[in-house]
Chain A
């Protein structure tokens, strides 16, 4: 009997959710589910660089915002189909990733971290001063009332984000299992040793930054249509930065499923908290969970699960 390839599982889950989205009538679930899926993309994308190679990117908001404002620019120019905006956002974000990575990754890793931290703030400044996209006033995107083949536009956006989440997870998984993933893991363990084993460290790091940033940009492109009113503060919100770090750390960084677990868990908690308590408390919850996990369970939920399994195996074998 041949083993079922494991990439089939994310695909099946995505198909199941797609089927569900056809049945569920309440639009709130689409609305909330979109956010969860968006965080699956951001967390998986972050993990490709951060989790696999150990380089911290604080600037997820920058890449996400590039995607969002990229879509705004296109929307103002000729209102292309959403897919075009997604591809455009992905390309621009990954080019910004290329430049940032090339300038800072030759140096110590923390310079990259600091540069990404500043990147979100500076891009926000640029957009604030760019009247074409509305400057500080923001931009209203008019979304069609309906779209062929979908019950509603929100449902359409949900399905698009579902597709992006599936792509992000499959890309992350493919990288993890390929020789690129092995090379990134070697970099994470010891970069000098990796280089001396023939690993082209700079090229791999730049590649990972581009893929990671590109996916984040793609996740940002549908955002203007999702919230309909986009301003610099919501596009470059630091919440994206902390969430996309916290989710992989809490879920577990060494396996592609880790960011997915973390994203679902944290995003659901935050969706519930936003409705029931306050949105400020959201960030507090994420911050406290982040600190607790990195000190108490450094390998995240996946790590806890593996430890439990090893313990059980040992008990069974004795």
Chain B
């Protein structure tokens, strides 16, 4: 296996809702350890793409290969086990559980399937992850009582606990203050250094610019640009789509 072979390789993904074409033959490829920003105006199909990749919904046509395996027919939990893990725009914690309890779910149900972490038990692993995201002191508190930014961190921590090779971070920063955005960006960099490829879906351009090596732009269900971040940002078509003229 060479370093050039992509971790994720999705080809001509199509999805229609009734008469509305949400995704129109979108290709997307991610290399191991890459940092990619996925941007586009509201309703451009970003969330649909995330849902198709993670298995929350199935695409109408197209193939998705991950780690050399065809996965487009697998249910979401099996994709998670293979290493595609997503977070949700609106955090969806398991509210009846403590913060650490939230992490034990992916540790037990996903991470076990690729036996990372050797013999250490779930609680120790969970505490290490919480340490990383800065929630260690909240470990035994009920997840229902967390603040917005803490919920975002829990969302990320829970995703990390599934031991992803590819993390899809769906608007993890929407509605956060500037300093909180910086906190999350740093956190994502830290995860990336551990070898996790990351797709960041974000409206906050500052975050995308700071974080991603490459940017993919969706407009009206079509991919209109896919290049290094500074090239994309100066692309006339992208500017037009964003500024709208």
Question: Which of B81-89, B199-207, B208-216, B235-243 sits within the interface?
Answer: B81-89
Q: A197-B80, A197-B162, A198-B80 given as contacts; is B109 within 8 A of A192 (CB)?
A: no
B77 in contact with A198 (CB, 8 Å): yes
Residues of A within 8 A of B162 (CB): 197-198
A interface size (C-beta, 8 A): 20
User: Closest chain B residue to A193 by CB distance?
Assistant: B92
B94 in contact with A202 (CB, 8 Å): no
Q: A195-B76, A196-B54, A197-B105 given as contacts; is B113 within 8 A of A186 (CB)?
A: no
B94 in contact with A183 (CB, 8 Å): no
- Which of A188, A189, A194, A197 has most B Cβ within 10 Å? A197
Q: A182-B105, A182-B108, A192-B56 given as contacts; is B113 within 8 A of A198 (CB)?
A: yes
Is B158 in contact with chain A by the CB < 8 A criterion? Answer: yes
| Cα–Cα distance between A254 and B94 once the two chains are bound (Å) | 14
A186 in contact with B105 (CB, 8 Å): yes
| Cα–Cα distance between A179 and B104 once the two chains are bound (Å) | 9
Is A283 in contact with chain B by the CB < 8 A criterion? Answer: no
Q: Would you give the 0/1 interface string for B96-110, flagging 1 where the beta carbon is closer than 8 Å to chain A?
A: 110000001110111
B77 in contact with A201 (CB, 8 Å): yes
B interface size (C-beta, 8 A): 28
B109 in contact with A189 (CB, 8 Å): no
| Cα–Cα distance between A196 and B161 once the two chains are bound (Å) | 12
| Cα–Cα distance between A192 and B54 once the two chains are bound (Å) | 11
Q: A179-B109, A197-B109, A198-B113 given as contacts; is B80 within 8 A of A254 (CB)?
A: no
B106 in contact with A185 (CB, 8 Å): no
Residues of B within 8 A of A182 (CB): 104-105, 108
B105 in contact with A195 (CB, 8 Å): no
**In the complex, how many angstroms separate the beta carbon of A207 from the nearest chain B beta carbon?**
14
Is B175 in contact with chain A by the CB < 8 A criterion? Answer: no
Give the residue of A190, A198, A202, A254 whose beta carbon is less than 8 angstroms from that of B106: A198
A197 in contact with B97 (CB, 8 Å): no
B109 in contact with A199 (CB, 8 Å): yes
A: which residues have CB within 8 A of B?
A: 179, 182-183, 185-186, 188-190, 192-202, 254
